[in-house]
Amino acid sequence: MAWDFSTDPEFQDHLDWLTELMRTDIEPLDHYFRGRSPFDKTDEEVQSQLRRIQEKVKDRGLWACHLKPEMGGMGFGQVQLALMNEILGRSSFGPSAFGSQAPDSGNAEILAHYGNDEQKEKYLKPLLAGEISTCYSMTEPQGGSDPNHFTCTAHRDGDEWVINGEKWFASNYPRAEFLIVMLITNPDVSVYRGSSMMLVPHDAPGLELVRNVGVGGERRGHGSHSYLRFNECRVPAENLMGEEGAGFKIAQTRLGGGRVHHAMRSVGTAKKAFDMMCERALSRETKGSLLAEKQAVQHMIADSWIQVEQFRLQVLHAAWQIDQSDTSKARLYIAGVKVATPRVLMDVVFRSMQIHGSLGMSNETPLANMWMMAPTFGVADGPTEVHKDTIAKQVLKDYRSSEGLFPTEHLPAKIEWAQQVMADRIEEELLNA
pLDDT at 76 over 70: yes
pLDDT digits over 150-196, tens only? 999 999 999 999 999 999 999 999 999 999 999 999 999 998 999 99
Lowest mean pLDDT among 85-99, 273-287, 374-388: 374-388
CATH superfamily of 134-241: Butyryl-CoA Dehydrogenase, subunit A, domain 2 (2.40.110.10)
Mean pLDDT of 13-31: 96
User: Which residues contact residue 10 at a Cβ distance below 8 angstroms, ignoring those fewer than 6 apart?
Assistant: none
In the chain, where the domains are located: 9-115, 134-241, 249-396
Q: What percent of the chain has pLDDT over 90?
A: 74
Give 272's pLDDT tier (boundaries 50, 70, 90). Answer: very high
Write the pLDDT tens digit of every residue in 4-15.
889 999 999 999
**Per-residue pLDDT for 254 more than 80?**
no
Report residue 256's pLDDT band, with 50, 70 and 90 as the boundaries: low
Task: Indicate the pLDDT class of residue 74, thresholds 50, 70 and 90.
Answer: confident
pLDDT at 71 over 80: no
Single out the residue of 153, 138, 158 nearest to residue 233, CA to CA. Answer: 153
**Domain 9-115 adopts which CATH fold?**
Butyryl-Coa Dehydrogenase, subunit A; domain 1 (1.10.540)
* Angle (deg, nearest 10), helices 9-21 and 44-60: 160
pLDDT tens-digit profile of 232-249?
A: 999 999 999 999 999 998
pLDDT at 383: 84
Of the spans 214-218, 297-301, 388-392, which averages the highest pLDDT? 297-301
- Measured distance CA(122)–CA(116) in Å, rounded: 10
Q: Is the pLDDT of residue 415 over 70?
A: yes
Question: For residue 21, what pLDDT is reported?
Answer: 97
Residues 6+ away with beta carbon under 8 Å from 84 = 14, 15, 18, 62, 65, 76, 98, 100
Which residues are within 8 A (CB) of 125 and not within 5 positions of it... i.e. 6 or more apart? Answer: 72
- Which pLDDT belongs to residue 1? 65
For 164, the 3-state DSSP assignment is strand
Mean pLDDT for the stretch of residues 100-127: 91
* Residue spans of beta strands (DSSP E) within 98-152: 134-137
pLDDT at 411: 96
Q: Average pLDDT, whole number, for the chain?
A: 92
- Residue 384's pLDDT band, with cuts at 50, 70 and 90, is confident
Do 134-241 and 249-396 fold alike per CATH? no
**CATH entry, 249-396, from 3.40.630.30, 1.20.140.10, 1.20.1560.10, 3.40.50.720:** 1.20.140.10
Tell me the Cα Rg of the chain. 25
Element (H, E) at 133: none
